[in-house]
Amino acid sequence: MSTWENITSSSIIFLLTGVPGLEAFHTWISIPFCLLYITALSGNSLILFAIVTQPSLHEPMYYFLSMLSTTDLGLSISTLVTMLGIFWFDARGISFNACFFNACLSQMFFIQLFTVMESSVLLAMAFDRFVAISSPLRYASILTDLKIAQIGVAIITRGTLILTPMVALLKRLSFCRSHVLHHSYCFHPDVMKLSCTDTRINSAVGLTALITTAGVDSVFIIFSYFLIIKTVLSIASPEERKKAFSTCVSHIGAVAVFYIPLISLSFVHRFGKKAPPYVHTLIANAYLLIPPVLNPIIYSVKTKQIRRGVLKVLQLSATKE
């Protein structure tokens, strides 16, 4: 009988993986990762602080942007400890369901939750752009502070209700194979592959969660832009059409940097079994780090009000020093 048989999830210690084949260079590899984390944390914190402290940014568009920055911060923090722990201290062990701060289930839940929240916020931002372009005179009356708060609560509730069964179902599994995960964090399909229990229910629930969140959101985002384009093309003035389209550029960039890595990771996990291990690692880390790193840059470069707000915060900090 195999030594791995009949080991339940409560006693499992998984081993996370850094960059396969380059373990001797983990200290050097950690340098660009540190820079990416510093960029993500500082950039999103600056935008969030600017929106909270400056009255000129107290508008629906920027409230949604603050939600996006919050989810990006959460996504970065969810993986920071395990990823840098591997590169710096070779701390690969993570318990399946023990201490909250060092539990695979907890990390998996929060990574998935912030991913779903980001998808939902991007959908809300698409709706915001549609209302702003199609009904500019009613914009403030439609997207009131109360309505935005309700949308925020709905985003959190939706993610929690959809993901809780998916993560909870993992607790029924037993693991009798290798306990080595292929990423530097706990990822739902990666954990399921190590189980010797029938995982068809888990796969079905996971696929359903993906379709009903990112899948549905992407369809509605595309539909929103179909309506936006239709509305913009009905505007007589070329200058006004250009101005209307320009308000959507930042959001389109944010949608691209979120969905392209997410779709790539899903395809690699389902169809890229013969791909080299470093391909999985590269795409898995890009999926988590690219949106938090690029979103603040995109909005700072493309949105004049955000750029001014961030500069004011930096100037105030410099003055105090």
Domain ranges of the chain: 9-320
| 276 and 254 Cβ atoms separated by less than 8 Å | no
Judge whether residue 99 has pLDDT over 60.
Answer: no
| 126 and 225 Cβ atoms separated by less than 8 Å | yes
Q: Residue 163 and residue 158: Cα distance in Å, rounded?
A: 9
Q: What pLDDT is attached to residue 24?
A: 85
Q: How far is CA 78 from CA 107, 157, 172, 181, 289, in A?
A: 6, 19, 24, 17, 11
Q: What pLDDT is attached to residue 6?
A: 45
| 185 and 17 Cβ atoms separated by less than 8 Å | no
Q: Which amino acid is at 19?
A: V
For the residues 14-23, what does the mean pLDDT come to? 86
Judge whether residue 44 has pLDDT over 70.
Answer: yes
Residue with the larger pLDDT of the pair 12 and 102: 12
Nearest Cα to Cα of residue 83 among 24, 118, 44, 31: 31
| End-to-end Cα, the chain, rounded Å | 67
For the residues 270-287, what does the mean pLDDT come to? 77
Angle between helices 216-233 and 249-271 (to 10 degrees): 150
Q: Which DSSP string corresponds to 247-311?
A: TTHHHHHHHHHHHHHHHHHHHHHHH-TTS-HHHHHHHHHHHHHHHHHHHHHHHHHH-HHHHHHHH
Q: What pLDDT is attached to residue 112?
A: 94
Rg (CA), the chain: 21
Q: Residue 106 and residue 163: Cα distance in Å, rounded?
A: 12
Q: What pLDDT is attached to residue 19?
A: 85
- Has domain 9-320 been given CATH number 1.20.1070.10? yes
Residue with the larger pLDDT of the pair 280 and 69: 69
Judge whether residue 165 has pLDDT over 80.
Answer: yes
Lowest pLDDT segment from 1-10, 120-129, 209-218: 1-10
**Residue owning tokens 């600056």:** 46
Q: What pLDDT is attached to residue 5?
A: 42
Q: Residue 140 and residue 60: Cα distance in Å, rounded?
A: 8
